[in-house]
Amino acid sequence: MSRKVIKSVTNLYDKKIERLAEVPDEKLPPLKNNKELKYIGRGISRIDGYDKVSGTAVFTFDKILKNMAHARILRCPHPHAKIRKIDITKAMNIKGVIDIITKDNTEKIDWYDGDTFIFDEHLRYQGDEIACVAAENEVIASMALKKIEVEYEILSHVTDKMTAVKEDAPKLYDWGNISPDANPAKYNRGDYEQGLKNADQIIEEEYNTQFVIHNPTEVHCSTVDWNGDHLTIWDSTQGIFAVRNSVAAALKIPQNKITVIKKYMGGGFGAKLEAGKYTVMAALLAKRIGRPVRITIDRKEMNLAVGNRPDSYQRLTVGVKNDGTLTALGMTMYGAMGAHRDGAGCQWPLRSLYKCPNVKVEEYHVAINTGRSRPFRAPGHVQGTFAFESIIDMAAEKIGMDPIEFRLKNYAEVEANWEIPWTTKLLKECYKQGAEAINWKSKRNKKAGEGKGPVKRGVGMASQIWWGTGGPPAYATVKLNRDGSVHVLSGTQDIGCGTYTILAQVAAEVLEIPVERITVSLGNTDEHPYGPSSGGSMTASSVTPAVYDGALQIKAKLMSGASALLGVREDNLVYSQGVIYSKDDKNKKKSIQEVVRETHEQILVATGARNARPQGVMLNSFGAQFAEVEVNLETGKVKVLKIVAAHDIGRTINRKLLENQFHGGIIQGIGYALLEERVIDHYTGKVLTTNLHNYKMPTIKDAPEIEVIIVSEGDDQISAIGAKGIGEPAIIPTAGAIANAVYNATGVRIRTLPITPDKILNQVYNIG
Amino acid sequence: MIRRINLTINGDKVGIDVQPSMRLLDVLREILNLTGTKEGCSIGECGACTVVINGNAVNSCLIVIGQCEGSEITTIEGLEKNGELNKLQKSFMEKGAVQCGFCTPGMIMSAYALLLKNPNPTEVEIQEAIAGNLCRCTGYKQIIEAIKSP
Ligand code: FES
Ligand code: FES
């Protein structure tokens, strides 16, 4: 099976990502028919289950090294300031304090694409880094933070994006507060003005969405250790190679002098996609003191400084004919990036969900004095889908059409941004099966809010489109030992989703051996071939085909070895359940163990590669979610009773793990719709929700009944495995479906998330 | 001021010389190397640090070791007996009640304490028992299933 290097092209948002990658030269043989599959598609229990339920799983947070020091970071208490002076004398005098680094005793190291330094004297948000202490334990390190004396020059701040864009607002950068990348970012399709003229109805609405914080249960943390000039980093990260490359650049050392390891990790959701400043600080301290260093970020820091979903203001316009045809879609949006540049937009659902020839978008990404935004599970699509699917619901109502019928009327058969067909799109099927499961026809109020009494029920729905679908480069090494056991290795990571398990399933399927005989190692930059960062619903769709390729190569080696040993031509051999037989004489056979042993190999090794993405077609996942809610008009409380999630995600690799991903995504979506919000006091510029008491995440009591329907089979244009990815799809339409259900129940539309009781009551009783 | 504290941890009697003001969580993780017990929030909100003390589920981040004299403490590491997982642990694996696994030890210990007192809990009782345990990944239905059916 030969290889070639290609330029792999992926369209992701407005970026065209081009990367060189080695891929299989030919299309790999497809998987067997679904019915014949033994491992792929089955609900196999996760293979790392024992480690996790027994308490033996070592997370980065648990990584303890001998003679290790503990580091904590001093952060700026003000939203905007300059450092006049730092005095560490008193802190250094505390018994047990080993070292303290600040801007005064370290080199300037560029960070955030040159926007700032590891230690900058210009502090742009509450939580910006000032110093890092190494001490004998965390308690002493925390005590020392209080003894560092900092003299600040307080600068005026701005923590609200709509204020920040005004001319007289305090400026964070030489370029002002609006990112040069989006001032505004524009998109035009067709003739928007003409589209509005052609419309019978024009609907214009404003929506606001809040900042939310990833808050994975395991905080961000690293343990680092120098051995001579070699640095080993255990990091709670979604991207080991991203961390290696950033830290190497920061420390100006070659990448082969750094090993990044991640074994178990307590979630990331996008916040852990890049190297943190804290890892670099730990490495600097470890070098200076000649000891390993463990650094952890506490929950308050998590809520200030390591990422959040950007907020949004969206003004949307929909032009529609009375027969339901969309004629124009317009969007003006502002999103806050926080104190450093990052994407804050959300235009893609509007641009890609439905057929509409005339579209106009303007986006402004705004710097404010708060922690920096980071990708958070379906970046942009969660904010965008809530607003867009809300206004689509209104448009349908305005012309008196059922919301599903309206969506079918505007169903996109080709991807409108590039005018190319999709590999597969089963969104119609999602509408159909989802509507049946929620009982759309009988549960939907004909007139919104028509139910009797103060406790109202209603149903609503929203659709989703997501990128996912993966691509090269992604590699996996498959090793077959003499005893027939198999080792799969890839430099991707399992951030909790089940990557260990699904890769074992793929190898088991190809080699026809039980999953128990397979071990999977992930998350080591030295030992494993390159695997992608775990984000964007792209791990499974990128890496499973590489394992498939690697396992096929092993199988080919076995066939050729058996042919030599048995004296039978390869095309006269069959492979079944780890044994190779002669077609003519069933007694002529060799087990895979025998082949390895008798060919005098210790181990067979092959590295598989992810196939190229098909060109000239678009690849997306799709879905429709349906919510049934109960709203108490006396208390304003919304209770989600049921969510039906019907999705086209290509092949299901493991139904049990898929349920986890969907349930988890839906519940995060419920948090976004009803509970979660980072609250800032704009007057002081301080965040008020810095612990898990104030920052409300869903608990078991917020969890509704959930039904997951997968309408798709494998999409073999994507890869032989045909998975599209399942990490993001479930969160995307959840808030929109709930908001539309709340309207159907009450007749009240909430345009600002989260939908808290005060907002419901204010609208119902017309207050404010 | 260092004091000797006597405890039974996972069936073993231990005496530890320690500052009585140290959090039980830190004693478990740092002195006894029982890192199965996690820390998620440090203020009693997430339940990741849950252990069972004298039959009750307790957030070990909110207890100082000085309060624990003579207590019987069970941590996640204490559930496996003679190389065999507790049926609750097995049930968490089989029902798919685990994703990243960081909340899992605390979740299992809350459930374990519930089942000690009430071997056949209703769904509402299960909800009450784990209402203080946050899971950011999995959703909760599988966790209820796992606790219902060990
Ligand atoms: S760490 Fe104890 S409850 Fe969160
Ligand atoms: S499994 Fe990750 S927090 Fe519960």
The full DSSP string for A97-166 is EEEEEETTSS---EETTTTEESS-SEE-STT-EEEEEEESSHHHHHHHHHH-EEEEEE------HHHHTS
Residue A33: what pLDDT?
83
Q: How many residues can be counted in chain A?
A: 768
**A495, A691, A693: residue with CB nearest B100:** A495
Which of B88, B97, B69 lies closest to B3, judged by CA? B69
Find where tokens 């690293």 sit.
Answer: A222
- Rounded to the nearest angstrom, the minimum Cα separation between A47 and chain B is 9
**With 70 as the cut, is the pLDDT of residue A768 above it?**
no
Average pLDDT over residues B118-143: 96
CA distance A223 to A236: 9
Question: Are residue A243 and residue A349 in the same domain, yes or no?
Answer: no
CA torsion A144-A149-A155-A160 (nearest 10°) is: 10
**Ligand 2 centroid vs B107 CA: distance in angstroms?**
9
Chain segment B59-105, per-residue pLDDT in tens: 999 999 999 999 999 999 999 999 999 999 999 999 999 999 999 99
| Residues near ligand 1 (Cβ within 6 A) | B 39-42, 44-49, 59, 61
Q: Which of residues 112-131 of B touch A (CB under 8 A)?
A: 127, 130-131
Q: How many residues can be counted in chain B?
A: 150
Ligand 2 pocket check: which of B39, B137, B141, B143 to mutate, most ligand atoms within 8 Å of Cβ? B137
DSSP state of A515: G
Question: Are residue A602 and residue A573 in the same domain, yes or no?
Answer: yes
Bridge-based pairing state of the strands A97-102 and A81-87: unpaired
Residue A78: what pLDDT?
98
Q: A283: domain CATH number?
A: 3.30.365.10
Average pLDDT over residues A410-416: 97
Q: What angle do CA A62, A66, A69 make, to 5 degrees?
A: 75
CA distance A430 to A647: 6
Residue A195: what pLDDT?
98
Residue A2: what pLDDT?
86
Residue A1: what pLDDT?
67
Ligand 2 pocket check: which of A52, A217, A264 to mutate, most ligand atoms within 8 Å of Cβ? A217
Assign A318 to helix, strand or coil: strand
Contact B1, B19 (CB under 8 A): yes
Banded pLDDT at A732 (limits 50, 70, 90): very high
Whether residues B76 and A48 touch (CB distance < 8 A) is answered with no
**Ligand 2 centroid vs A378 CA: distance in angstroms?**
19
Residue A530: what pLDDT?
98
The reply to whether A530 touches chain B by the CB within 8 Å rule is: no
Question: Are residue A624 and residue A566 in the same domain, yes or no?
Answer: no
Say if A457 falls within a structural domain.
Answer: yes
Residue A10: what pLDDT?
87
Residue A719: what pLDDT?
97
As for how many domains chain A has, the answer is 3
Q: Which of residues 284-323 of A touch B (CB under 8 A)?
A: 298-299
Whether residues A656 and B43 touch (CB distance < 8 A) is answered with no
Question: Are residue A463 and residue A489 in the same domain, yes or no?
Answer: no
Question: pTM higher than 0.90 for the full model?
Answer: yes
**With 90 as the cut, is the pLDDT of residue A218 above it?**
yes
Residue A767: what pLDDT?
67
Domain B3-77 in CATH 3.10.20.30? The answer is: yes
Residue A545: what pLDDT?
98
Question: Are residue A55 and residue A68 in the same domain, yes or no?
Answer: no
**With 80 as the cut, is the pLDDT of residue A285 above it?**
yes
Question: Are residue A243 and residue A384 in the same domain, yes or no?
Answer: no
Same CATH topology for B3-77 and B87-148: the answer is no
CA distance A6 to A34: 31
Q: Whole-number mean pLDDT of chain A?
A: 97
Average pLDDT over residues A1-13: 89
Range of the domain at A90: 63-155+217-267+272-305
**B77, B85, B131: residue with CB nearest A700:** B131
Residue A350: what pLDDT?
98
Chain segment A651-698, per-residue pLDDT in tens: 999 999 999 999 999 999 999 999 999 999 999 999 999 999 999 999
Tell which CATH classification among 1.10.150.120, 3.30.70.260, 1.10.10.10, 3.40.309.10 matches the domain B87-148. Answer: 1.10.150.120
Banded pLDDT at A431 (limits 50, 70, 90): very high
Question: Are residue A353 and residue A461 in the same domain, yes or no?
Answer: yes
Question: Are residue A525 and residue A646 in the same domain, yes or no?
Answer: no
Contact A253, A289 (CB under 8 A): no
Contact A410, A324 (CB under 8 A): yes
Question: Are residue A318 and residue A369 in the same domain, yes or no?
Answer: yes
Residues of chain A positioned with their CB less than 8 A from the CB of B136: 215-217, 267, 269, 664, 668, 697
Question: Are residue A707 and residue A736 in the same domain, yes or no?
Answer: yes
CA A458 to chain centre: 31
**With 90 as the cut, is the pLDDT of residue A314 above it?**
yes
E strand or H helix that includes residue A480: strand A475-481
Tokens of A649: 């995600």
Question: Are residue A73 and residue A36 in the same domain, yes or no?
Answer: no
Q: Which of A578, A593, A609 is the last residue of a domain?
A: A609
CB of B55 within 6 A of ligand 2: the answer is no
Which sequence spans correspond to the domains of chain B?
3-77, 87-148
Q: Distances in Å between the alpha carbon of A623 and those of A124, A361, A397, A648, A654?
A: 40, 24, 22, 6, 18
Say if A207 falls within a structural domain.
Answer: no
E strand or H helix that includes residue A294: strand A293-296
Residues of chain B positioned with their CB less than 8 A from the CB of A692: 40-41, 43, 45-46, 134
Question: Are residue A595 and residue A705 in the same domain, yes or no?
Answer: no
Ligand 1 pocket check: which of B28, B59, B107 to mutate, most ligand atoms within 8 Å of Cβ? B59
CA distance A312 to A310: 7
Say if A715 falls within a structural domain.
Answer: yes
